[in-house]
Amino acid sequence: MPIESRSIAGKDIELVIRAIRSSMPIVIVRQYEVMKGSDDNGVWNFSLEAGGKNIQLESSTYNCPFVIETDEQCCKEALKANDVEEVVRLVLTYLRAVEGGSSVFLKGSLHWI
């Protein structure tokens, strides 16, 4: 389901998506589709191409803080971003590295500590 069809108005995720698309219009944003009632629909993937490397944001409230994971950095290495500016910086850092053909280990506060 396209991100525009979800109700995100007034939430931090809306600001994040707008800022990222403003800097990188080619970015693909997909919200996780809930398959059953217990699933969390507060998960978004940002990538430059379908099936390519992605960075994932998660927040059940659609607001900060967000848990951030990438193809290279997940689980115990997941980060926590406490404000919109930090989320945008981390996402753009990752996507620009991917665009340049490299990977990056993001620096920030670990989520699980």
Instruction: Look at residue 5 in the predicted model and tell me its pLDDT.
Output: 41
56 vs 32: CA distance, rounded Å: 10
Q: H or E element: which one contains 91?
A: helix 84-99
As to burial, measured by CB atoms within 10 angstroms (0-12 exposed, 13-18 middle, 19+ buried), residue 95 is buried
Q: What is the pTM of this model?
A: 0.87
Instruction: Look at residue 3 in the predicted model and tell me its pLDDT.
Output: 45
What DSSP string runs through 12-38?
A: HHHHHHHHHHHH-TT-EEEEPPPSSTT
pLDDT digits (tens, 9 = 90+) for 30-86: 998 766 655 567 999 999 998 889 999 999 899 999 999 999 999 999 999 999 999
